[in-house]
Structure 1
């Protein structure tokens, strides 16, 4: 095994972790899990929620068939519900909720509610769009057919539970599920049973009004969530204004048929601050005093824009002078029909339309475009016997496509978000057609086996015109793509349950992710052009784990994983103002440990922990760097993959008064720790780690004799110690000297801008909610 410089993951650390297993694992309470699931961080759910959650978005009679992702045997799944994560705290982004799961890394995206999520470090190096996972809401896909997911539209207040699937998941979810999957569940009408109004307000101009209404009547069930989110921001030029509407409705005309409608609409208007270099971050982490380049404070980041918007002389501008921002809209409309063919067989058919329109004038370019997409899925679930053994079988056939149109312009300085000359015009169509099959077989009272497979073909066809400007005129270049990829992903899992307290599980699974059209048209120089040789990313993962519940109120879990990647996608920035580009690393390995615990050790008291260890490195990758007339090659085997922290930990302890005159009063404190990580392939420059402390006080009570039914009050101090930390860091490309051909050192990387967003300083957010 190659030595991993600076890893911090050594046998001593592994041995220490193993000695602490009883205090570092988690499982869902008995009411939320069946014997063979790992549900590692969860609570009792919201008031009025039944102990056995219904299938996704279906107002179905008891005993109706759950979806295949509802209770999958043998998967490594963490369920995060409302307790301590949403219901009694002002969670401003979905990232503050997802860190409750082992193995999840969250980065700040391009906007205050936009976060980039990774599972097991897969995608941790990204700072723009979430990739390498599939995201669903109420069973409908939020990941577009090019593999991109964004979380601007996910207001935490809308959800009752989030399931985090860890490890390769293509046999269950198809393309792009190399890291895992997220399954969001909105609150159903029965859970809400009335209406709620709430408001959160706090530091840096944060204000969120939200409204929820829901109920069930006869065959109908409806829930509607709406919010209005505003923020001034803790950095210069970081305001935000976003509105979200989320509808879930279902109709059950009889015991054998169920219809579900899903509608989401999100509008977003965001001012974006500049990403700084590590050196600038150390001087001016929050980019304050940066209104104008001529009077900018020390450490302010500026970007050079062509004075005429096309070529020649440039002028430096700050984020405010350049009016950097995003103005996006996302609309999703989807429906599903479920039909019980007989008591043991259910057929589903669902269709959806998803369009993302964007206008993003930030940094040295401005992209405008539209990503309309649609998806169709039909599946069949049957419960019966195989060779006399109880079994559940699932088969599915799906098709989805996206028609992308992007125009990229130079930015012109001053006068608002002015556009310069057109630099590229891209049109591409991507479609995916595939099938999946899965069988869960009860081999005995104690053993369950799982076998699954996915096969999918992807077609990519498109072209991009690029334009270069000079005093002599315009030069045009054309890059075409016409490629197809066929991928197959099998899975095997085995679960052993000797008694109610123990469950042992093993899993071998594979995943695949095909290139998206947008990555094929950005060169390593960070400009539009031909990068069409990218290959499919694949991985083979092995998981071994154990769940232990020695007491009704103690849930422990430990999982070890080892994954082998081929042609792993690595995205990095070649420098300030340039587009990030993607390349294939021929071979790499990811290994680690995930653990968690939930312990209600005394009446009213609850402790929760979620820990992840990641050790990821290249095993075969030679990087070629050029400068001027010189070219050099560097063997990166054994180097750690940028962007991936070795250690992550969430630890929380809280108390809720269970009875007496102060019933409903509660508080908790939590610590969120993340280790440092390298910013470059040579492992020369490292972003420092951090520990953030949060404290919360809340009160939740029934109102007797009032028009309202329930009152919730809460206030939270985030980053209690006012720690300065890095919330997002774009990995940087290494370079060589044009004079000597030697690799430039950490000092050059540290002054390369376009990488870092600082995390929020100490902030106080409070709120109230009334249920009627």
Structure 2
């Protein structure tokens, strides 16, 4: 616990900003930050209003909405005439705030006011979520140190579109399928707080939710352009007629790239079609199709990354390394309501073709399929309110994997590896909230995970690399949620999480690679969230004690990483969000200056490791700070600067021998968005001072100044866009 006082000190500093309590009834005397009840587009079709709140950043956000009273049932989806299968932003916010832990709902109004290009545009202001850009749209995403040393792809987080998994069956996920312009809102569940989906990994879950025809604009079109050849166009349309509704979103994006050999383009489409059998029964079909073509510039040494950040690794250029993926997802979800009980069930399939010339030429097909069922029961039992969520997730997949020599120029050479990789991830889960007092709920739950990794080697001339591993793990959780008043919550929980290795960990090429164990963790968490006049806050402190942490360590510049288990490690930290309106009616009635802060403290270290002792864990900075000062006029005009600050160096290796230097970036944005139909637009400048810095690193056990591990961040970048809604 030697590092925990630093986390407590940081939390105390945040707490200094909190004012004396103000009773909920006083909120009616001010509109900062107000709850705004907006009539959704097409009011003739919608009886349910869309409730949003205005964030401290001057954007509308449900993350800081007042918590619902524990005595009031959470509104059920579709209760106001909207979609039964897809909750509105207000319904999702009310439901997520029944969670005794750190969670967030990020509405589209928070991320569609800028380029809306990458996952960082969506999640960059959520405390505890680390997004580290690599090149173009590619980002590393980590929550509480999940997938901390992952050098390629992402793992450690369960990612969903509309509650349906997009992870491969062995746990990996690709971010290129995430199109920020396609979503109504995004839900973030940190750690075991994702149990409502049956997810139980260290990082938790992220759910990207698309609109339906019952809350979509008839037309929503935009075009964005920026530095380094960036152009993106997007349009969506939706509608409803009687029991039917439909929605479609399509986008095309291209970029020459900040670095040499980093050009890319992608096309993405998202659509859904719903049919309501009755007020209590609805089914919805989803289709998601994507094409991505991307050249890879490779990692650089620290000196080259800082001095000539636009350069590429010459070997990556010679081999013409690329990442090209085509994917298609088809799914169905049906919701039935029986009084206080709601049942969701569905099936899905996700098909991908990955054409990936790197140091070798990887060419493989991924086929995933599965089903799920979940019930939510919210009723009074013996005079006490009780809310039960229980479900089952079934997912299986096959990877038809082939690996060729790449002699240069992305040409397939000799076939070197051919294998059939089969995965299963099956889980059953339940979480029960018993309100022992009208404003105090005690929560208990658990998940049982059964995972299988089975490989069939189809080239035996170099030995048989076939193998099979299975994992059976039970993960319990207990917690408490106290509504101090209708606008202030305090929560605490203790949970266990587990993560079975992906196929690139259990390669079965050697006894060492065949015996990678599942990563487990026990996490302790306390926190609070709420809103007062002129103030919103989110604060969580946690400590996760890990066994067998999965580490992905680079052994040479031209190879994939080797996955090993660390012994005992600790991830602990502080996640804090703060919003303050401090100047009002400066130039016009009801205008505002807002100050917004998102702070993440990461205190990650080995715990008495035989080799690394108590060294710091690599790949993530101890402190990340995003702060914004913005003016917002009631007519929709806004303008102001913001900063991204990494004030302390962090390490690129377990040996703690090579660091990534601190940096600070100054940004500025200006725009106009009245929030309704018609035109809106923005202009945004990032890295205004053209600072040279390292945005992400891959990880080694021992690094030297000659180690090519680093991705330089973008230089000064300008974006602008226009949007039209009707």
Determine if the TM-score, normalized by the shorter chain, exceeds 0.5.
Answer: yes
1:21 aligns with 2:15: yes
**Correspondence for 1:456:** 449
1:360 aligns with one of 356, 367, 380: 356
Matches within 5 A, 1:196-595: 196-287=220-311, 301-303=313-315, 319-340=316-337, 342-362=338-358, 364-413=359-408, 416-464=409-457, 476-521=462-507, 531-551=513-533, 553-595=534-576
Of 61-70 and 220-229, deviating more is 61-70
Q: What RMSD, in angstroms, separates the aligned Cα atoms of the two structures?
A: 3.0
Residue 13 of structure 1 and its aligned partner are, at CA, apart by 7.3
Contact 2:192–2:200 (CA under 8 A) maintained in structure 1: no
Contact 1:442–1:448 (CA under 8 A) maintained in structure 2: yes
Q: In 2 relative to 1, CA 729–465 (structure 1 residues): closer, same or farther, beyond 3 Å?
A: farther
Residue 720 of structure 1 and its aligned partner are, at CA, apart by 0.9
Larger Rg: 1
Q: In 2 relative to 1, CA 430–760 (structure 1 residues): closer, same or farther, beyond 3 Å?
A: same
What is the DSSP-based 3-state SS (H/G/I as helix, E as strand, rest coil) of the residue aligned with 2:111? coil
- C-alpha separation between the residues in 2 aligned to 1:328 and 1:28? 43
CA deviations over 1:300-344 (Å, ceiling 9, x no partner): x333xxxxxxxxxxxxxxx3332111111111111011112x211
Structure 2: gaps (5+ residues)? 20-31, 38-54, 69-73, 585-590
Residue 131 of structure 1 and its aligned partner are, at CA, apart by 0.7
What is the DSSP-based 3-state SS (H/G/I as helix, E as strand, rest coil) of the residue aligned with 1:20? helix
- C-alpha separation between the residues in 2 aligned to 1:644 and 1:63? 35
- C-alpha separation between the residues in 2 aligned to 1:126 and 1:10? 25
CA deviations over 1:461-515 (Å, ceiling 9, x no partner): 1134678xxxxxxx61222222211011111110122323432211111111001
Contact 1:280–1:751 (CA under 8 A) maintained in structure 2: no
- C-alpha separation between the residues in 1 aligned to 2:86 and 2:697? 48
Matches within 5 A, 1:60-209: 60=84, 70-83=96-109, 85-109=110-134, 112-169=136-193, 171-174=195-198, 177-209=201-233
Matches within 5 A, 1:698-709: 698-701=671-674, 709=677
CA deviations over 1:323-382 (Å, ceiling 9, x no partner): 111111111111011112x211122211000112100102x2121101110111012221
Contact 2:307–2:692 (CA under 8 A) maintained in structure 1: no
When normalised by structure 2's length, the TM-score is: 0.87
- C-alpha separation between the residues in 2 aligned to 1:718 and 1:766? 11
What is the DSSP-based 3-state SS (H/G/I as helix, E as strand, rest coil) of the residue aligned with 1:478? coil
1:760 aligns with 2:714: yes
1:654 aligns with one of 626, 630, 634: 630
Contact 1:431–1:458 (CA under 8 A) maintained in structure 2: yes
**Correspondence for 1:316:** none
Residue 21 of structure 1 and its aligned partner are, at CA, apart by 2.6
Structure 1: gaps (5+ residues)? 3-8, 33-38, 291-300, 304-318, 468-474, 623-634, 704-708, 735-745
- C-alpha separation between the residues in 2 aligned to 1:62 and 1:77? 19
Contact 1:42–1:79 (CA under 8 A) maintained in structure 2: no
Contact 2:82–2:214 (CA under 8 A) maintained in structure 1: no
Q: In 2 relative to 1, CA 358–557 (structure 1 residues): closer, same or farther, beyond 3 Å?
A: same
Q: In 2 relative to 1, CA 62–566 (structure 1 residues): closer, same or farther, beyond 3 Å?
A: closer
Residue 18 of structure 1 and its aligned partner are, at CA, apart by 1.3
Contact 1:250–1:261 (CA under 8 A) maintained in structure 2: yes
Q: In 2 relative to 1, CA 696–182 (structure 1 residues): closer, same or farther, beyond 3 Å?
A: same
Q: In 2 relative to 1, CA 120–410 (structure 1 residues): closer, same or farther, beyond 3 Å?
A: same
- C-alpha separation between the residues in 2 aligned to 1:443 and 1:279? 60
Residue 579 of structure 1 and its aligned partner are, at CA, apart by 1.3
1:750 aligns with 2:711: no
**Correspondence for 2:619:** 643
CA deviations over 1:142-172 (Å, ceiling 9, x no partner): 2222111111011211122212211234644
Residue 283 of structure 1 and its aligned partner are, at CA, apart by 3.7
- C-alpha separation between the residues in 2 aligned to 1:14 and 1:63? 37
What is the DSSP-based 3-state SS (H/G/I as helix, E as strand, rest coil) of the residue aligned with 2:548? strand
Q: In 2 relative to 1, CA 24–280 (structure 1 residues): closer, same or farther, beyond 3 Å?
A: farther
When normalised by structure 1's length, the TM-score is: 0.82
Residue 45 of structure 1 and its aligned partner are, at CA, apart by 5.5
Residue 637 of structure 1 and its aligned partner are, at CA, apart by 2.2
How many aligned residue pairs are there? 677
- C-alpha separation between the residues in 2 aligned to 1:251 and 1:666? 40
Q: In 2 relative to 1, CA 177–520 (structure 1 residues): closer, same or farther, beyond 3 Å?
A: same
Contact 2:144–2:202 (CA under 8 A) maintained in structure 1: no
Of 273-282 and 197-206, deviating more is 273-282
- C-alpha separation between the residues in 2 aligned to 1:158 and 1:148? 22
